[in-house]
Structures are given as structure tokens and as C-alpha cells.
């Protein structure tokens, strides 16, 4: 979860922020988010002899500006004043996307009855500083701070892109041409793109981060066209990992059953989707994404790519990527060639890792729920990538026994991208 920085480092943290601000020709102290570590009085002035204007409770979050090593000026909804620095700690935020269709509300307190602090648009990038009881997260978007329902948020996935703007791309704090300008990304800069909202892409390149026009980005010619058929083994003593993968869906009947089983056992998987199925089952694509699973590209019509022209391969791949993007606002992060058929020409088109498998359960052939586990038992080891299909009822019927066996043997089921690192 969130990392808490000891008090001894808080002042150094503040000073580094102020120095950066001064280097940018900003003379005002810079405010940041801190968490309250113990109930504390809020004073009108920076002195315990001054009047008390209120109090803050352990676990709450405040917008804070340093005064000196002993006192911090804090600001909350309807409360402002000074708190002793020993009652506060720095929190390292985590990224999150607004996953709820139509966006979600930002509140001043962790309650749906609290005053609204703003509206957060779908696919907006947020920074989550911590959680509050009742299913709430304290978040930041631009200069907006407050509480959002945790179940409306999702961890983002990054893809590499390249700046394609001869004069560079201006970085904005928010997804708007009127958003505060933070700097410029030079042409050809390689960035990590996390989301696109209203034509704006949230990107990071080293210390530079913010929103640029999505039209100022382009795909890299090649990002990672390597072919993988197993994951990286963990260090000695760490928990062993396997990747469950499902091809050819989503299926209107079987895929939801598989998702329910994965959720029951707190397991994550990777779904390699056929584009025409993703297009006709967009709601299921969205469900897969919202429940934290990885989505991969498995072409539009499931052809043998090595028998196609380069232009046809690209069409199969791009059409599927666009269908997935239309459903979730994100492009697929991995690719699996149908039948495992790939060559140099195919790989020259693919800009994400190509994933094969180390265990073929042959569920597509025998259609026998019990045999799936037999194949897994015979070959599974740390780093295995297991091939199944979410279009067969027998696969759904046999999945729970596979998961129970793997967990009993000490395996953690993770996504393909997780197992590659």
C-alpha cells in the first residue's frame, strides 16, 4: 500500500519541493498532501499559545505547506491553521484511473452526502494518497483534492509511445488546453502513456509528467517484438507464479462464468481477445478490464498470420486493438499469434510482447473439464504460461479445480506482464 515517510525526512522532502519551485522561478511555498498520524489540534497561529480553530484526526489527509521544522500550515474543507509537524507524515501516492462510465464525483469528506468538490471524468489519471473507511480513496487531480469511491477507480496500464511534434509537446496539469502548462516534451521523446481522455493523453517521461494532446503521440516502430513462452522464475524463497491465459473470447456465456471464478479466488489472468468477439461483447471486455485482468490482442478473425501479407497482418492487429480501445479506453498490452504462428514479418508489425505458452491444456480439443487439470499437473512449474480458451463451457467447468490445485501447490496466479518481470 502507500509508503509512509518517517518524520525525520519530512522537512527534507519539503525543502526539496521548495528548491524545485524556486528553480522554476516560483517564489511561493509549495503545498503537498500529508497524512495525519495522530489526533492533533489546529491552531490559529504557529504556537500552542494561540487559539485553537479545530482539530484533525488520525488517518485524515490535509493540504499542507511548511512553515519551519516545527510547524506546518494545513488546509481542509472549512478548516485552516497550523499543526505541529510531528503529527504529519508524507505519503507516496499511487496512480489510478477513473473507471466508472460517465465519471465519478469528488467529495470533501468520505461520504456520498458530503459536499461535492468536483467532477472527475472517465479515464482521468488520479493520484491516490490513501483510503478511508467505507470504501473511499483520497485522491488528487490537478489542483483538486478530495474523496472518490474506491470502486470507481482502477490501476492503469502503461504503453510506450513517442512524441511526434516537431516543436515539442506542451505538458498540461489537466486534460484541457487551459490547464496549467508544466513544460514541454521534446520531439521523439519516448513516454509511458497511461490513458487518453477527451483527446488528451496522460504521459510520463522521467520527472516530466502530465497531459499532452494525444495527436502529438505516435507508436514506436518497435517496442518489444520478442516472443515469450514462459515467465521469469522468482528468487529463491519467493512465491512461485504462473499465468492463466484465455484465448478466443470474449464469449457472452462462458467468459462471465470464468470471471466469477477468478474473482472468487482472487486470481488475475490474461485474456487474448479476438477482435470481432470483443466488438460484439464490449460490455464483457469492460468487465474484464475493470476486474483487474490483462487484455491481449489475438487478431480480428483468428487467421494464421504467417500466410498473410504484412499489410493484412497489420489490419488484423490494428482492427482488434481499436475494438478493445473503444470498449475500455486502453490498448491491449500483449499479443498472441493464432496457432502460435509467427515469423520476422509478423513480429515487425507487433509493438508489444508476443506471448506463446508453456502448457497447452488442449481444452479446445478434448472438451473435458477433468483433463485440463491433468495437463496442468503434468507440466506446471514456476513461470509457466497456461493456455486455455474462454469459449468452451468445459473450460469454465474445470477452472476452479485448476486454481485450487495451483494455490495448494504454492503458486500465485498473475497476469502475463507480471510474470515476464
Cell numbers standing for residue 151: 470502486
Is there a catalytic annotation at residue 389?
A: yes
Instruction: Assess contact for 325 and 297: CB atoms under 8 A.
Output: no
Given the residues 73, 293, 298, 389, select the one marked as catalytic: 389
DSSP per position, 252-281? TTHHHHHHHHHHHTT---EEEE-HHHHHHT
Asked if residue 358 has pLDDT above 90, the reply is yes
Angle at 19 between CA 173 and CA 42, to 5 degrees: 80
Residues 69, 129 share a domain: no
Cβ contacts of residue 340 below 8 Å, gap of 6+? 356, 357
Q: 54: domain CATH number?
A: 2.30.30.40
- Please identify, among 154, 173, 206, the residue that sits at the C-terminal boundary of a domain: 154
Is there a catalytic annotation at residue 344?
A: no
* Bond into 250 cis (ω within 30): yes
Residues 99, 83 share a domain: no
Residues 86, 101 share a domain: no
Q: Treating both helix axes as pointing N-terminal to C-terminal, what angle do 282-290 and 254-264 enclose, rounded to 10 degrees? A: 10
Residue among 362, 415, 340, 354 nearest 385 (CA) = 415
Q: What is the mean pLDDT of residues 42-60?
A: 91
Three-state SS at 309: coil
**Beta strand 208-213 with 200-205: parallel, antiparallel or unpaired?**
antiparallel
Q: Which residues pair with 197 in a beta bridge?
A: 200
Residue among 247, 239, 226, 236 nearest 344 (CA) = 226
Asked if residue 221 has pLDDT above 80, the reply is no
Listed in order, strand segments (DSSP E) in 214-324 are 217-218, 227-228, 240-247, 270-273, 294-297
Could you tell me the CA-to-CA distances from 395 to 243, 257, 342, 380, 383 in Å, in that order?
16, 10, 26, 17, 21
Residues 53, 72 share a domain: yes
Question: What percentage of the chain has pLDDT greater than the value 90?
Answer: 66
Cell numbers standing for residue 16: 526539496
The pLDDT score that the predictor gives to residue 209 is 93
Residues 235, 317 share a domain: yes
Residues 249, 195 share a domain: no
Residues 313, 171 share a domain: no
In which domain, by residue range, is 25 found?
A: 3-91
Instruction: Assess contact for 336 and 245: CB atoms under 8 A.
Output: yes
Residues 234, 167 share a domain: no
- Please identify, among 91, 116, 131, the residue that sits at the C-terminal boundary of a domain: 91
Given the residues 172, 247, 251, 298, select the one marked as catalytic: 247
Largest CA distance in the chain: 82
pTM, two decimal places: 0.54
Instruction: Assess contact for 61 and 42: CB atoms under 8 A.
Output: no
Listed in order, strand segments (DSSP E) in 301-403 are 334-335, 354-355, 359-360, 385-389
Whole-angstrom distance, CA of residue 76 vs CA of residue 63 = 7
Top-confidence residue, 296 or 190: 296
Residues 305, 200 share a domain: no
Q: What is the mean pLDDT of residues 297-322?
A: 95
Summarize pLDDT for 109-159 with one digit per residue, the tens.
899 999 998 999 999 999 999 998 899 999 999 888 999 999 999 988 888
Summarize pLDDT for 248-289 with one digit per residue, the tens.
999 999 999 999 999 999 999 999 999 999 999 999 999 999
Asked if residue 223 has pLDDT above 70, the reply is no
Whole-angstrom distance, CA of residue 421 vs CA of residue 411 = 16
The pLDDT score that the predictor gives to residue 329 is 81
Residues 279, 197 share a domain: no
Could you tell me the CA-to-CA distances from 192 to 29, 217, 266 in Å, in that order?
30, 11, 28
DSSP per position, 56-113? E-TT-EEEEEE-SSSEEEEEETTEEEEEEGGGEEEEE-EEEEE-STT-EEEESSSSTT
Q: 306: domain CATH number?
A: 3.20.20.370
The pLDDT score that the predictor gives to residue 27 is 34
Asked if residue 191 has pLDDT above 50, the reply is yes
Asked if residue 331 has pLDDT above 90, the reply is no
Q: At 194, phi and psi to the nearest 5?
A: -105, -25
Summarize pLDDT for 381-416 with one digit per residue, the tens.
999 999 999 999 999 999 999 999 999 999 999 999
**Beta strand 136-141 with 94-98: parallel, antiparallel or unpaired?**
unpaired
Cβ contacts of residue 370 below 8 Å, gap of 6+? 398, 401
> Could you give the number of structural domains in the chain?
4
Residues 315, 171 share a domain: no
Number of helices (H), then strands (E), belonging to the chain: the values are 10, 31
Q: At 248, phi and psi to the nearest 5?
A: 80, -10
- Please identify, among 51, 68, 91, the residue that sits at the C-terminal boundary of a domain: 91
Residues 321, 232 share a domain: yes
Cβ contacts of residue 163 below 8 Å, gap of 6+? 169, 185, 186, 187, 188, 189, 191, 212, 216, 217, 218
Amino acid at each position: 500500500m502507500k509508503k509512509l515517510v518517517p518524520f525525520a525526512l519530512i522537512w527534507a522532502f519539503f525543502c526539496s519541493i521548495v528548491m524545485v519551485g524556486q528553480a522554476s522561478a516560483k517564489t511561493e511555498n509549495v503545498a503537498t498532501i500529508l497524512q495525519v498520524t495522530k489526533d492533533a489540534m489546529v491552531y490559529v497561529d504557529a504556537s500552542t499559545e494561540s487559539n485553537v480553530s479545530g482539530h484533525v484526526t488520525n488517518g485524515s489527509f490535509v493540504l499542507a505547506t511548511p512553515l519551519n521544522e516545527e510547524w506546518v500550515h494545513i488546509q481542509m474543507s472549512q478548516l485552516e491553521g497550523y499543526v505541529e509537524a510531528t503529527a504529519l507524515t508524507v505519503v507516496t501516492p499511487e496512480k489510478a484511473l477513473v473507471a466508472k462510465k460517465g465519471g465519478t464525483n469528488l467529495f470533501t469528506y468520505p461520504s456520498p452526502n458530503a459536499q461535492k468538490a468536483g467532477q472527475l471524468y472517465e479515464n482521468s489519471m488520479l493520484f491516490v494518497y490513501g483510503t478511508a473507511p467505507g470504501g473511499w480513496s483520497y485522491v488528487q487531480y490537478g489542483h483538486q483534492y478530495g474523496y472518490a469511491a474506491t470502486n470507481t477507480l482502477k490501476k492503469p496500464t502503461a504503453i510506450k509511445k513517442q512524441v511526434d511534434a516537431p516543436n515539442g509537446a506542451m505538458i498540461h496539469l489537466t486534460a484541457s488546453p487551459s490547464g496549467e502548462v508544466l513544460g514541454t516534451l521534446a520531439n521523439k521523446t519516448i513516454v509511458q502513456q497511461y490513458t487518453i481522455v477527451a483527446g488528451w493523453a496522460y504521459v510520463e517521461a522521467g520527472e516530466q509528467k502530465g497531459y499532452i494532446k494525444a495527436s502529438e503521440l505516435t507508436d514506436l516502430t518497435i517496442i518489444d517484438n520478442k516472443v515469450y513462452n514462459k515467465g521469469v522464475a522468482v528468487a529463491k524463497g519467493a512465491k512461485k507464479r504462473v499465468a492463466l491465459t484465455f484465448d478466443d473470447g470474449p464469449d457472452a456465456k462462458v467468459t462471465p462464468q470464468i470471471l466469477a471464478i477468478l474473482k472468487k479466488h482472487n486470481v488475475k489472468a490474461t485474456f487474448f481477445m479476438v477482435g470481432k468477439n470483443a466488438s460484439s461483447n464490449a460490455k464483457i471486455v469492460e468487465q474484464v478490464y475493470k476486474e483487474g485482468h490483462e487484455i491481449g490482442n489475438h487478431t480480428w478473425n483468428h487467421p494464421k498470420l504467417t500466410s498473410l501479407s504484412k499489410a493484412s497482418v497489420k489490419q488484423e492487429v490494428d482492427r482488434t486493438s481499436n475494438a478493445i480501445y473503444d470498449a475500455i479506453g486502453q490498448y491491449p498490452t500483449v499479443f498472441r499469434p493464432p496457432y502460435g504462428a509467427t515469423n520476422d514479418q509478423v513480429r515487425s508489425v507487433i509493438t508489444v510482447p508476443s506471448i506463446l505458452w508453456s502448457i497447452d491444456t488442449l481444452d479446445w480439443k478434448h472438451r473435458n473439464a477433468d483433463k485440463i487439470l491433468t495437463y496442468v499437473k503434468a507440466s506446471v512449474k514456476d513461470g509457466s504460461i497456461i493456455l486455455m480458451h474462454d469459449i468452451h463451457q468445459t473450460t469454465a467447468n474445470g477452472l476452479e479445480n485448476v486454481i485450487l490445485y495451483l494455490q495448494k501447490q504454492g503458486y500465485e496466479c498473475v497476469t502475463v506482464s507480471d510474470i515476464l518481470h
